[in-house]
Amino acid sequence: MSKSEYKKRLDTLKVTTDGALSRQWEQNHRNEYASALKRVVSQHKDWAASKDEKHSHITAEERKKVTDEGEAALKWLDAEFAKQSAVPIADPPVITCDQINKKKAALEAAAAPAINKPKPEPPKPKAEEPKKAEDPNAKKPEPAAAGSEKPPAGGAAPNGADAKPTASAAGADAKPAADNAKKA
């Protein structure tokens, strides 16, 4: 026998066995996919019943919609499993893992807008009313130049130092001048 003859025989065997292998795989994995769908429905029910502060902004209608979608998915799953139980294992399955997975994805997509709805920001405190708008042509007071300030009454300098020299400062300056006069 040649290689091409073996390939033809293998292809005919695959055609007859692929259906059986597919049905076996579906039979073995169907419950896992159903459990995953039930788990998602349960999570959505828990979320809808939550009184947590981070979900307090979700309305009752949105919560009900999520729960109703989950209930509908469970009813569909139960009905399909009831049909499947009446079908012999050798016949094509009524419900496939792919169908269950698509139902789970549709459920998650339907619930996502409500579940992922961001909490609104708290209202900002109202700012005080702005004062009257200033006339752009009105003259604004110009700051005085640093040297043009008048010293305050009492003789104090603008920087807080005394305008008049103290006796100790005058005496300190007078001694070197007197020493210089004696030496000359």
Taking residues 141-165, report their average pLDDT.
Answer: 52
Model confidence at 139, in pLDDT bands (50, 70, 90)? low
Domain-wise residue ranges, the chain = 3-115
Give 95-121 pLDDT, tens digit per residue: 999 999 999 999 999 999 888 888 777
Residues 26 and 97: their CA atoms lie apart, in Å, by 6
Q: What is the pLDDT of residue 134?
A: 58
Q: What is the pLDDT of residue 144?
A: 55
Give 46-59 pLDDT, tens digit per residue: 988 888 887 788 88
Q: What is the pLDDT of residue 170?
A: 46
Report the predicted TM-score, pTM, of the whole model to 2 decimal places: 0.60
Question: What architecture does CATH give domain 3-115?
Answer: Up-down Bundle (1.20)
Give 8-35 pLDDT, tens digit per residue: 888 888 888 888 899 999 999 999 999 9
Give 50-94 pLDDT, tens digit per residue: 888 877 888 889 889 999 999 999 999 999 999 999 999 889 999
